[in-house]
Amino acid sequence: MLFAFDFFYPFVMSVVWMMGAILFFWRREHRTADALPELRRTPMVSILVPCYNEGAVLGETLVALREIAYPNYEVLVLNDASTDNTLDVVRAAMDSDERIRIVNLPVRRGKAHALNAGVFASRGEIPVTLDADAVIHPDAVHYMVAHFVNAGGERVGAVTGSPRVRNRATLLGKIQVVEYGSIIGLIKRAQRVLGKLMTVSGVLAAFRKRAILECGFWDEDMITDDIAISWKLQRHAWDIRYEPRALCWMWVPEKLRGLWRQRMRWSQGGVEVLIRNISVWKRWTQRRLIPIYLEETVSIVWSYLWLVSLMLLIVEGLHGSVPWNMIRTGGTWLGLMSLCQSVVALFLERRYEPPRFMYYYFYAIWYPALYWAIGAFVVVIATPRAVLRMLRRRTTYATWHSPDRGMSS
């Protein structure tokens, strides 16, 4: 029974994600013209760029922001008490573009605190959050704004963009190209068909300022501010949409240590959000969030049971009674399903990538072999850490550190 659950859960979820993503593509993507959608109006957009010691990468980000095609926007760099040359980079950009401003925070209190300060300082109706190391596509803002101002956008509280991997020279970078297509992109499409998203992208997302004000801003004590704000918006009946054409390019970890730290933060933050939002089970008005809540909870249970199964196999191996036939059969089917999921996802994403994008399919075989194991161990460790942190009920700021971007590789 234990081994059956270990097999069927990822198998069934892969089917659900593929079917949902294909339906999303058929209904909302494949007939989309290459031309930009017409906008009924062009409200002021405030692009918020929170940063802490980002002097090495911020310059390129600001250059890309100055080339945005949208006609009515400002850029607010939210400096969270950086100790490097971040201020110098911003001031140089301000001298050549009056649309760029700086909000200088004297005490480091984290990304969520910086974003909250940015909302207060912004003039725009639509705040757009962008990581300090991300290069945005010139048309990304236009695509996201269309969801707010065109027909049917009255209840849209946020639109999540589509981050793409920049550094693709190493094996780990290439695997993450597959991951962002075969897992993240596929899941967002499928969840959007179901009506609710687990999270907007922390790299690039647009918000309605009124929705942010109504739900009480970003939680400054949560490790993952993007997941937390997504749940707050949806619990206040605001809609979240996924816009695959809103592209930006980001750096990803190329060392296992950096990847481990990143996934530990994601996992711990996700569990914290589940704990904080457990009351969705008590309210009928929150029922559409229950499938997302259940999916995340079952994935945590699966990680623990996978680890138990692994230990049982080791014990059985010491006694020479390993069920090799069952392992080979289950592993073969899961591997085939993973490859099938990857080819579907890469096919859906190919229009947003270079012509040789399908070449990355050859690295899809590494995904289940490496990432499933890393993901399971991360969840097993991160879950009790999240539970203990939430039980302490201490109001502490979730500060940050510059991530591993793999640029030295």
Tens of pLDDT along the chain (409 residues)? Answer: 666 777 788 888 889 999 999 999 998 887 776 678 999 999 999 999 999 999 999 999 999 999 999 999 999 999 999 999 999 999 999 998 999 999 999 999 999 999 999 999 999 999 999 999 999 999 999 999 999 999 888 999 999 999 998 888 888 888 888 887 667 888 999 999 988 999 999 999 999 999 999 999 999 988 899 999 999 999 999 999 999 999 999 998 888 888 888 889 999 999 999 999 999 998 888 888 999 999 999 999 999 988 888 888 777 777 666 666 766 676 777 778 878 888 888 888 888 887 777 777 777 766 666 667 788 889 999 999 999 888 876 556 666 666 655 654 4
**135-136, strands of its sheet edge to edge:** 100-105, 73-80, 45-51, 126-130, 204-207, 156-165, 239-250, 135-136
The answer to whether the beta carbons of residues 3 and 326 sit under 8 Å apart is yes
pTM: 0.90
DSSP result, 240-262: EEEEEEEEEEE----SHHHHHHH
- What are the two backbone dihedrals, phi and then psi, of residue 79, each rounded to the nearest 5 degrees? -85, 110
CATH number of 33-257: 3.90.550.10
- Where are the chain's structural domains? 2-17+283-391, 33-257
Q: CA 211, CA 236: separation in Å to the nearest integer?
A: 8
Q: CA 59, CA 54: separation in Å to the nearest integer?
A: 9
SS3 299: helix
Query: What separation, in Å, do the N-terminal and C-terminal C-alpha atoms of the chain show?
Result: 44
